[in-house]
């Protein structure tokens, strides 16, 4: 059986955070070194740190919070697609890909070099028109290897809203630079934080064996 591959960013004090947002911090509030029986860690962080999911409540006042989201989108068969040859990713680009039937989860490897310790200045553009396209394919989860599905300075978050409107949940900041295209099993479960706008996840994939690789690579 193939090994699980970790495609999440390690949560360290070095990890990049959204500009102006709360950085990730870990410290011990009790330590064995200081004669306690145990080490007890404490974290402080934006929930949009490293590899994480957005609950619709992140960008919509009446959107679902993370504890209200279904589990199914975050567990199951996923396809990794490589869209790194363009900085404008739209429905026309996605329609060039080889779509096998029954793909509910799509992970996009973009042209952005994956560097967990640096917040990128610019991101490849994801056109909102991918939302109806992906919905028509039956997709319920879109994962990307960048910190946002909209530009960092976007005010209207058009692609976030379009995806939400079309029933597609969002997974951000994956590490896909060394992942070959193809079909995988995915597990990327958010924590059930009541009322929360998002959650870091441990995203892992495992190749599905004896399956025809997409794009015939």
Ligand X SMILES: Nc1ccccc1C(=O)C[C@H](N)C(=O)O
Q: Which of 185, 190, 81, 85 is closest to 137 using CA atoms?
A: 81
| Sequence-separated (6 or more) residues with CB below 8 Å from residue 217 | 180, 181, 182
Query: Using CB distances below 5 to 8 A depending on partner kind, what does residue 18 bind out of ligand X, Zn ion, none?
Result: ligand X
Residue 58 appears among annotated catalytic residues: yes
Q: Give the integer Cα–Cα distance in Å for 214 and 109.
A: 14
Question: What is the smallest separation between the CB atom of 217 and Zn ion, expressed in angstroms?
Answer: 29
- The secondary structure of 114-171 as a DSSP string is --TTS--S---EE-TTHHHHHHHTT--EEEESSS-SS-TT-SS-HHHHHHHHTT-EEE
For position 18 contacting ligand X by CB under 6 A, the verdict is yes
Query: Using CB distances below 5 to 8 A depending on partner kind, what does residue 109 bind out of Zn ion, ligand X, none?
Result: none
For position 48 contacting Zn ion by CB under 5 A, the verdict is yes
For position 21 contacting ligand X by CB under 6 A, the verdict is yes
Q: Which of 66, 44, 46 is closest to 55 using CA atoms?
A: 66
Q: Give the integer Cα–Cα distance in Å for 153 and 122.
A: 9
- Sole binder of Zn ion in the list 8, 45, 50, 54 (CB under 5 A): 54
Would you say 142 and 106 are in contact if contact means Cβ atoms under 8 Å apart?
A: yes
Question: What is the smallest separation between the CB atom of 150 and ligand X, expressed in angstroms?
Answer: 6
Stretches 49-57, 65-73, 116-124, 138-146: which one binds Zn ion (CB under 5 A)?
A: 49-57
Q: Whose Cβ is closer to ligand X: residue 54's or residue 183's?
A: 54
- Site track 126-165 with ligand X (rule: CB under 6 A), x = hit: ---------------------xx-x---------------
Residues annotated within the binding site for Zn(2+) are 48, 52, 54, 160, 172
- Report the interface residues with ligand X, using CB under 6 A: 18, 21, 46, 48, 54, 58, 147-148, 150, 172
């Amino acid at each position: 059986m193939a090994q699980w591959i970790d495609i999440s960013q390690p949560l360290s004090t070095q990890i990049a955070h959204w500009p102006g947002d709360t950085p990730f911090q870990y410290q011990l509030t009790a330590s064995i070194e200081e004669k306690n029986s145990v080490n007890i860690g404490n974290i402080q962080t934006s929930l949009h740190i490293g590899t994480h999911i957005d609950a619709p409540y992140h960008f919509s006042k009446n959107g679902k919070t993370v504890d209200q989201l279904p589990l199914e989108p975050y567990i199951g068969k996923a396809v990794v697609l490589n869209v790194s040859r363009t900085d404008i990713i739209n429905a026309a680009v996605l329609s060039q890909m080889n779509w096998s039937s029954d793909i509910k989860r799509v992970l996009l490897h973009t042209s952005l070099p994956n560097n967990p310790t640096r917040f990128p200045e610019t991101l490849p553009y994801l056109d909102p028109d991918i939302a109806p396209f992906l919905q028509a394919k039956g997709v319920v989860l879109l994962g990307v290897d960048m910190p946002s599905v909209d530009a960092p300075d976007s005010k209207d978050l058009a692609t976030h809203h379009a995806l939400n409107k079309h029933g597609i949940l969002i997974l951000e900041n994956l590490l896909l630079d060394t992942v070959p295209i193809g079909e995988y099993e995915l597990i990327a479960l958010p924590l059930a934080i009541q009322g929360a706008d998002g959650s870091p996840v441990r995203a892992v994939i495992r190749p599905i064996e004896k399956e025809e690789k997409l794009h015939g690579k």
